[in-house]
Amino acid sequence: MTRVASIGECMIELRQAPGGQIGGLYSRSYGGDTLNTAVYLSRLGVHIDYITALGDDALSDEMIAGWAAEGIGTKHVARLAGKLPGLYLIQTDDKGERRFFHWRDSAAARELMDLPDTEDLLNSLATYDLVYLSAITLSILREDGRERLMAALKRARLLGTRFAFDTNFRARGWPDLTIARNVFSSAFETADIVLASTEDLAPLYPGENNTALLAGISSPEVVLKLAEPACIVRSAGGTREVRAEPLPKPVVDTTAAGDSFAAAYLAARLGGAEPEEAARAGHRLAGVVVCYPGAIIPRYAMPPKKTPRPPPSRKASQ
């Protein structure tokens, strides 16, 4: 059985009701980029564990119960006494574009690399076929924690684990752009698959065109999502553009468009699909997700599953 680990942070989500005003109604849920991807991977039939840290509070209990209900493994979720998960609020405009407000400075997930069990957790990464994390995951860790995690990923790759890195960039999560560029460079050098977008990379590398952005990513397999409904895929088979099909409905909310694309792409690749075919799967799922409010769409709205090819045998990365 193919096994995947997703590492990151999940937070309490407050979403403003349509047309809501300050002091109006908000719905409460939870979300986070790597958790959203984990949910969609699980729904696509991938065995996945989520690796994070939460508090010992009732909201953290609720999160774990919700993840388990989605089929996500929680054995590597650390519970920290007296801590709480982070919190974010979403405002969405009439075009479906969202604005986030975060309260996460003391969130439990920030201590994930500083726990008594951290070393055992890092050693467990070598038991997975694929480890997925994002730039947001790295941004919440201190420098020594990032280095510890990257070192563990390099060790795991020597034993056959593949590493997928999502460039989900939020400037407010980094002390300055130089540090962010250095961290991204290290991730690019280590990753087997990079899931990037021009939206993420433009603030980091201003003025660079698509060709230059791709050239700056040393990973052997790269997907660069464009501002228009298309992406560029670069792999051993060459470089080509893959355009998305027309959306089935009007855009309601773009939250988790990238997260769902990543899930469908990785699920397809794990199932034996070529990168171009996997990119089409990513476009299809993301195109459905943006037609519903919130990060996680109803189960009934999920596109029909395609019969996967037999997964490739596990071997050390080149």
Per-residue pLDDT of the chain (318 residues; tens, 9 = 90+): 899 999 999 999 887 766 555 566 788 888 899 999 999 999 999 999 999 999 999 999 999 999 999 999 999 999 999 999 999 887 766 665 667 788 888 899 999 999 999 999 999 999 999 999 999 999 999 999 999 999 999 999 999 999 999 999 999 999 999 999 999 999 999 999 999 999 999 999 999 999 999 999 999 999 999 999 999 999 998 999 999 999 888 998 888 999 999 999 999 999 999 999 999 999 999 999 999 988 899 999 998 876 545 444 444 333
- The reported pLDDT for the residue numbered 223 is 98
**Closest-CA residue to 144 (of 169, 123, 113):** 113
Q: Give the pair of three-digit tokens for residue 9.
A: 């942070």
Rounded-to-integer distance, Cα 195 and Cα 187, Å: 11
Rounded-to-integer distance, Cα 275 and Cα 290, Å: 22
**Closest-CA residue to 252 (of 98, 96, 99, 100):** 96
- The reported pLDDT for the residue numbered 309 is 52
- The reported pLDDT for the residue numbered 117 is 95
Catalytic positions: 259
- The reported pLDDT for the residue numbered 317 is 39
- The reported pLDDT for the residue numbered 23 is 60
34-48 burial, b if ≥16 CB within 10 A, otherwise e? bbbbbbbbbbbebbb
What is the reported pTM?
Answer: 0.91
- The reported pLDDT for the residue numbered 25 is 78
- The reported pLDDT for the residue numbered 72 is 98
Q: What is the DSSP annotation of 106-135?
A: T-GGGGGGGSTTHHHHHHHGGGSSEEEEEH
Q: What does pLDDT average to over the chain?
A: 91
Q: Which residues are CB-neighbours of 58 under 8 A, at least 6 positions away? A: none
Domains and CATH numbers, the chain: 3-8+32-83+109-297 (3.40.1190.20)
- The reported pLDDT for the residue numbered 90 is 77
**Closest-CA residue to 167 (of 208, 137, 210):** 137
**Closest-CA residue to 253 (of 226, 286, 292, 288):** 292
Q: Give the pair of three-digit tokens for residue 55.
A: 């508090």
E strand segments, 17-143? 26-31, 47-55, 77-80, 87-92, 98-103, 130-134
- The reported pLDDT for the residue numbered 295 is 87
Rounded-to-integer distance, Cα 119 and Cα 223, Å: 31
Q: Which helix (H) or strand (E) holds 211?
A: helix 210-215
- The reported pLDDT for the residue numbered 305 is 73
Rounded-to-integer distance, Cα 36 and Cα 13, Å: 12
Residue type, 144: D
- The reported pLDDT for the residue numbered 88 is 84
Q: Which residues are CB-neighbours of 178 under 8 A, at least 6 positions away? A: none
